[in-house]
Amino acid sequence: MTNNKHVLVEFYAPWCGHCKALAPEYEKAATTLNEDEDTSAIKLAKVDATVESDLGTKYKVRGYPTLKFFKDGKDSEYGGGRTAPEIVNWLKKKTGPPAKELGSDEDVTKIKANNEVVVIGHFTDMGSDAGKKFIEVADTVDDVVFAYITDAGVASRATVNTNEVVIFKKFDEGRAEFKGDITNGDELAEFVKGNQLPLVTEFTSETAPKIFGGEIQVHNLLFISKASEEFDQNLAQFKEAAANFKGKVLFIYVDTETEDNQRVMEFFGLAKDDIPDYRIIKMSENMAKFKPDTKDLSADAITKFTEGVLTGDTKRHLMSADIPEDWNKGPVKVLVGKNFKEIAFDKSKKVFVEFYAPWCGHCKSLAPTWEKLGEKFGSNDDVIIAKMDSTANEVEDFEISGFPTLKFFPSGSDKILDYEGDRTVDAMAEYVESNGEKVSGGGEEESEEVCSCVDGCGFNNLANFFALTPNNSLIKNVHVHYTKQVCVLEGRLGSEKVFLICAF
């Protein structure tokens, strides 16, 4: 570190599947940097954090692989993608000027050939308000290459007019001209972010960082089989609709034939028979999901539905299983989304509900106790002991962030109380009998709560960490994103660090 000004370090684990997937891209990036005289001084290194545990602790490694960028020995988080070009471009932006001057036709040809997306501006005076604002915006966007031309002849042959900004890209229409005021930095930055991805992006582990790392928090997902006969036609309609929402909505398609995408389908309540179909999700509004009323996949229908979601005219979709015929036959009543409000908010009764997940270990441990609690009040018409599978059902009034979650709905009240007492029959029975007034004990056993315990669970961090922990029910408990993103759970489970997948 002391002999090199700029070093990117990968902290990895030999058993980590995502580290193995990154390895060839990391190697390509190192070769590319070394072969370019402008970047040969940038070094890439890696550390086996399972062996060098002290280094892992020192640099707060909380998932594999973790990439840290060192400048003059001082570390910072890596915020780029996981492909070789993305790694190289991010490092170029961090180690060089925000934008590169293109002084010849050869420079223009080279930068366009080497990048999927490049932003080129033409300014006769870089000291002008427009020129300075262009550099300022370039300095804030890490994952897109910016360049500028001052020579009129070079700019003309590059088809960029004076005081114009053009995005050249190797997809869709090939180029996009900025029509706004260049001195409005926010407007220019929004234009760049809205054009840096294709109109429609396939959902993969490679594109996930850009999908989740971006500022666009409304995603429209088309679930379709790439092997189907209607794929090209449906994708074309989806693209046509996407053109109306640049910079506002990310349009993404999910190949339903890919095994890793099955959980994505489950999260949106989709089965194979439902395909093809689409859903919209608002990431910043508690993962609110929206389902169209029809299966119309025309561009007009998709456009109209998306507009309704953006304006707030379309109501969010809450998943619900069908009401079982025997839902009220046993000591523990079975609730689903369709009958939840009717039962839980019945003010004439004391209603105690367990929100569970079928795979949750703590839920399985609690099950016999919960059954006994139901039996205890079986002959009491004023009390309902119930349960609801929160992986298949959603409610509008609150979010469930961990399993099992116990909520009490006292009689004669609109309150919703979180039960945090002992999970014994006697303690919970006393709580019910007191209408939620008397709580015994508490804190004996933590629920598998995750969201509030995650360290650094921002979109960018989530999008840049990957790990696998097989046979751990915790990996299924974080509905923070609809992809395999790694978070870390500390403290609540003791001193050990648990690496998990933020999936469904």
**Domain boundary assignment for the chain:** 6-95, 100-194, 201-311, 333-434, 462-503
Which residues lie below 8 Å from residue 434, measured CB to CB, with a gap of 6+? none
| CATH superfamily ID and name for 6-95 | Glutaredoxin (3.40.30.10)
Nearest to 501 by CA among 79, 64, 25, 86: 64
Residue 104 contacts residue 21 (beta carbons within 8 Å): no
Between β-strands 6-12 and 66-71, what pairing exists: parallel, antiparallel or unpaired?
antiparallel
Q: What is the average pLDDT value for the chain, to the nearest integer?
A: 85
Encode pLDDT of 360-393 as tens digits.
889 999 999 999 999 999 999 999 999 999 888 8
Q: Tell me if residue 53 falls in helix, strand or coil.
A: helix
* Distance of alpha carbon 111 from the chain centroid: 31
Instruction: Compute the C-alpha angle 14/479/205, nearest 5°.
Output: 45
B/e letters for 420-447, b = 16+ CB within 10 Å, e = fewer, are: ebbbebebbbbbbeebbeebeeeeeeeb
pLDDT of residue 206: 74
pLDDT tier at 471, thresholds 50, 70, 90? very low
Q: How far apart, in whole angstroms, are the C-alpha atoms of residue 264 and residue 259? A: 10
- Position 263 scores a pLDDT of 78
Q: Check: CB of residue 34 under 8 Å from CB of residue 8.
A: no
Q: Return the sign of the alpha-carbon dihedral for residues 81, 483, 295, 286.
A: negative
Please report, as a single letter, which amino acid is at residue 503: A
Most distant pair of Cα atoms in the chain: their distance: 90
Three-class secondary structure of residue 404 per DSSP:
coil
* DSSP track, 225-257: -TTSTTHHHHHHHHHHHHGGGTTT-EEEEEETT
**CA 258 – CA 204 distance, rounded (Å):** 10
Fold held by 100-194: Glutaredoxin (3.40.30)
Strands 417-418 and 405-409, how do they pair? antiparallel
Verify cis geometry, omega within 30 degrees of 0, for the bond prior to 331: no
**Per-residue pLDDT at 442:** 64
- 393 or 165, higher pLDDT: 165
Of 112, 153, 159, 160, whose CA–CA distance to 134 is shortest?
160
Strand 200-202 vs strand 250-255: parallel, antiparallel, or unpaired? parallel
Q: What is the pLDDT of residue 470?
A: 30
* pLDDT > 90 fraction of the chain, expressed in percent and rounded: 61
Please state, in angstroms and rounded to a whole number, the distance separating the CA atoms of residues 302 and 308: 10
Report, as residue numbers or ranges, the catalytic residues: 16, 19, 360, 363
Check whether 500 has a pLDDT greater than 60.
Answer: no
Q: Do domains 100-194 and 333-434 have the same CATH topology?
A: yes
pLDDT category of residue 196 using cuts at 50, 70 and 90: confident
Position 111 scores a pLDDT of 94
User: Taking a C-beta distance cutoff of 8 angstroms, is the pair 79, 460 a contact?
Assistant: yes
**pLDDT score of 118 more than 50:** yes
CATH 3.40.30.10 corresponds to the domain 333-434:
yes
Q: Which spans in 248-360 are helix H?
A: 262-267, 299-311, 337-344
Question: Is the CATH code 3.40.30.10 the one for domain 201-311?
Answer: yes
Distance in angstroms (rounded) separating the CA atoms of residues 25 and 17: 14
Mean pLDDT value of segment 405-413: 96
Phi/psi for 287 (5° steps) reads 60, 35
Per DSSP, 324 falls in state P
Cα distance between residue 130 and residue 146, in whole Å: 14
Place of tokens 């794929």: 231
Rounded CA gap, 466 and 19, in Å?
A: 8
Q: In which band, very low, low, confident or very high, does the pLDDT at 140 lie, cut at 50, 70 and 90?
A: confident
